[in-house]
Structure 1
């Protein structure tokens, strides 16, 4: 799939003006795989004149034909990426954003392209990543997450991000209640999960900027380690344990059940990196709560993705096939919430360390 000649010409003229250049030429472009919610295009451009004179490998990110609830716009995502870049998080350098509909017919943003592997199924099986030391990769990802969590309501304000009405956990759970209630067929497993979570709400919570999709599949890695944290369209104010639980949830281990840190390593390594960078104490009971929540949230997102396909707005069969994953997500959530299941304790956290 390619941009047509008219779109390329408009983009070249727009970037020349944005970059203060005499001329910009798009030498190659290709739609990238992945991006279930957004479209990503690899661009190789040549800039003549101005401060960005030279060759650049970029990614152009724009909207798909339809989206899911709570997904940020491209301009909002760009603002979050810029904040993360300024905070020292390993992210692709944000370069430009535009709401000029005359260029591509929709908003878009540009960032520098980073090399590596992001596909989850490949990442968990590739033993060359991080020099063959996946524990080192898990620890590095813990450190990157801690850097994201240095962004707080006290340090940053985003006009498109409202603070939770109360604590993050009940706020997020109420949001999922609304989505499940809107589904026109019974969802007993999801109802059970919501009841379990509601009865065990965390008592105290801190509020930071959470990535809210921090997982294997949303970072680039190569033989040197982490190259970039990707996909910020769900980021929002929440408890830091939400990101810890999402990363460790079984649904994001890609079959590597014995490697709880994203299918690549141990909790000990992931937690070690996070604690060393942040100085925070990790509450294992809170992580467990957010892991259960992760399966519930992923189940709701899967149903929303299926609806995008069934509505005819998106012809991508991958979106329809996501619905086939719902039973395995539900089974995992039911296993975690079975009667008699004990939440981990502080002693478990010490053992993991």
Structure 2
């Protein structure tokens, strides 16, 4: 945490909004790691930043402010500050490969993740001058006051690398919080972000370069969500929140679909219903528990317990959609895979076969039927996991002429 405190101090001196760090704890203090910093007023919850009436004026200029702040971060000299010795350097190819390897360790084949990794490695940006990279600069890690940006937070994964990574991460769809039409954090436009960056840095921004990192952002967070599920399965965190976040991987994957293989999504799962004779049916039992949580438990609980009760109710929504659509989605997926791969195996083995073929290059990214299969599979899954997710709606409403 001493490095994080140091980074915050350097950024503040460079003109980046943030608190003054008064002191960093030392071993002789006997208080562990940490630092003492100034209190700064502002809103940090992304959804509130995007909808608060008090922040209307701040939102109007926030994308440009972000561009200016990032340009100042990236201009911090690595040699004179000693950051070259304090931080590790990661190039784009290494970031992709590290994330890909982490995903493989979960043993949960998701061929769209493998396809996206291949796409990223095939579209690496040109080499440039490495810079200080914040690493997690996004809506949710900013403090915003009515007057504008009040602080940049959460420096713990800062490193040296491609500065455009920060711009792409800020534009990643997961951080738009209900406003997909505003690609910069759900509050601004690419044009304003780039204008702020260019005015401060004197360097032109290549939108294609930023787009690479936007794709990487959805790729990285799709793997991160699977990591949450892995934590639930293996510990140490067995909370209902971890399990639920695991199902958000499909949201990120559909964002990758929309970015790298946009097109019509055919064969999506439609409601089938269960007309079985049992009273009550399983879906009715699940629904009754869900409504109990929403109508009685959530209103009676505050803080984290209330939040987790809402998460639990949302998870039961997923269970209900899985019961209604899951079998048909898997049947369609298996049929497409058998046609694509030319073998008749169980679905789990077919998924692994496709994933391994994408990993070792024996299956080309332009193989006949591959893109259509990936698009339809991901859309069917996100229809179960979160059918109102903006990326899902965009995929279903794809218009080749738009």
TM-score (norm 1): 0.69
Which structure is higher in helix share? 2
SS in 1 for 2:53: coil
SS in 1 for 2:64: helix
Residues 1:275 and 1:242: Cα distance change in structure 2 (over 3 Å): same
1:157 to 72, 76, 82: 82
Residues 1:123 and 1:162: Cα distance change in structure 2 (over 3 Å): same
Asked if 2 retains the 8 angstrom alpha-carbon contact of 1:246 and 1:291, the reply is yes
Aligned match of 1:138? 63
2:12 to 85, 103, 108: 85
Aligned match of 2:53? 127
Which structure is higher in strand share? 1
Post-superposition Cα deviations, 1:166-202, rounded to whole Å, max 9, x if no partner, equal xx21121122122123222213121111001011111
1:234 to 139, 151, 157: 157
Question: Is 1:173–2:100 an aligned residue pair?
Answer: no
Post-superposition Cα deviations, 1:113-160, rounded to whole Å, max 9, x if no partner, equal 21110101111112321x625231221121111111112434432334
Which runs of structure 2 are paired with 1:239-250 in the superposition (5 Å)?
Answer: 239-250=162-173
147-156 vs 256-265, which moves further: 147-156
Task: Quote the offset at 1:110 in angstroms.
Answer: 1.9
SS in 1 for 2:156: coil
Aligned match of 2:261? 338
Question: Is 1:325–2:248 an aligned residue pair?
Answer: yes
Distance 1:251 1:143 in 2: 22
Aligned match of 1:212? 135
CA-atom RMSD in angstroms? 2.2
305-314 vs 284-293, which moves further: 305-314
Post-superposition Cα deviations, 1:6-47, rounded to whole Å, max 9, x if no partner, equal xxxxxxxxxxxxxxxxxxxxxxxxxxxxxxxxxxxxxxxxxx
Distance 2:131 2:39 in 1: 27
Residues 1:152 and 1:189: Cα distance change in structure 2 (over 3 Å): farther
Larger radius of gyration: 2
Distance 1:153 1:163 in 2: 11
Distance 2:203 2:125 in 1: 17
Count of residue pairs the alignment pairs up: 263
SS in 2 for 1:237: strand
| Structure 2 residue runs without a partner (length 5+) | 265-402
SS in 2 for 1:233: coil
Post-superposition Cα deviations, 1:85-123, rounded to whole Å, max 9, x if no partner, equal 22221111112222538745x422221121110101111
Distance 2:258 2:28 in 1: 48
Distance 2:40 2:239 in 1: 26
Asked if 2 retains the 8 angstrom alpha-carbon contact of 1:219 and 1:230, the reply is yes
Aligned match of 1:109? 35
Residues 1:306 and 1:99: Cα distance change in structure 2 (over 3 Å): farther
Distance 1:329 1:132 in 2: 30
Asked if 2 retains the 8 angstrom alpha-carbon contact of 1:145 and 1:274, the reply is yes
Distance 2:88 2:191 in 1: 33
Asked if 2 retains the 8 angstrom alpha-carbon contact of 1:209 and 1:237, the reply is yes
Distance 1:214 1:140 in 2: 12
Distance 2:64 2:225 in 1: 29
Which runs of structure 2 are paired with 1:1-353 in the superposition (5 Å)?
Answer: 74-100=1-27, 103-104=30-31, 106-129=32-55, 132-158=57-83, 159-164=85-90, 168-314=91-237, 316-338=239-261
Post-superposition Cα deviations, 1:59-91, rounded to whole Å, max 9, x if no partner, equal xxxxxxxxxxxxxxx222222222212222111
TM-score (norm 2): 0.61
